[in-house]
A and B are shown apart, each in its own frame.
Chain A
Amino acid sequence: DAKTTQPNSMESNEEEPVHLPCNHSTISGTDYIHWYRQLPSQGPEYVIHGLTSNVNNRMASLAIAEDRKSSTLILHRATLRDAAVYYCILRGVYSDSSYKLIFGSGTRLLVRP
């Protein structure tokens, strides 16, 4: 199964952009790249996902490298509420249409006021 590698922690100032990197060098052609975040004392919540093209939504942007071996989650203006653990996840699909989500250890984002 393909794995992801993320830095253990990152820091940012409030209202500045944040770029959270993720390496997934063993990604297969059918793996989607998902990002989730986990706020303190809560379950993870979906942020964004993509396959090959860059993606934008109201929460963030996802930049995917051309070879798909890495991706970057971009928070355009970090707020204190964005302080969380961010997980980069590959959603693999098997031949029987079942799939699994492989969570890495995540990046803890600290946002300074």
Chain B
Amino acid sequence: EAQVTQNPRYLITVTGKKLTVTCSQNMNHEYMSWYRQDPGLGLRQIYYSMNVEVTDKGDVPEGYKVSRKEKRNFPLILESPSPNQTSLYFCASSLSIGSGARSNTGELFFGEGSRLTVL
């Protein structure tokens, strides 16, 4: 089954304790992205990656790091979490719009979300 898998789904941590939220997709997608969702603010992009070893900042990258060493994985790293990073996080993936396939709608496939609380 085609899917985007995030772990953990729920996490409560304390300020300053490094954590990583993993994201894995099994659709051979080039493009992957992280979003955070906060009440009243909708979905905001944190980082995105066009392909392996290619990452770029989204709209709210401060306090986050990412890496793309393999095509299927795109972990989100919080080196020193703070309470303002308490949020619902979504990972997403899609084919690159440059893939040329007629069936490529550029559809983003989202994971089920990771709810993070930083105390």
Contacts and interface: CB of A to CB of B under 8 A. Distances in A.
Interface of A: 32, 34, 36, 42-46, 49, 87, 91, 93, 97-106
B113 to A, nearest CB: 5
B106 A49 contact: yes
Interface size class of chain B, counting residues whose CB lies under 8 Å from the partner chain: 20 to 34
A73 B113 CA distance: 25
B106 A100 contact: no
A43 B113 contact: yes
Given A99-B97, A104-B42, A105-B41, A46 B50 contact: no
B61 interface: no
Interface string B83-119: 0000000101000111000000111111111000000
Contact of A43 (B40, B44, B48, B110): B110
Contact of A106 (B42, B106, B108): B42
B106 to A, nearest CB: 6
Nearest to B112: A43
Nearest to A105: B42
Given A44-B108, A100-B58, A93 B44 contact: no
A87 B117 CA distance: 25
Contacts of B22: none
A106 B40 CA distance: 10
A93 B90 contact: no
Nearest to B43: A103
A93 B96 CA distance: 11
A45 B58 contact: no
A32 to B, nearest CB: 7
B35 interface: yes
B7 interface: no
B56 interface: yes
Nearest to A46: B107
Given A97-B97, A97-B98, A98-B50, A44 B43 contact: yes
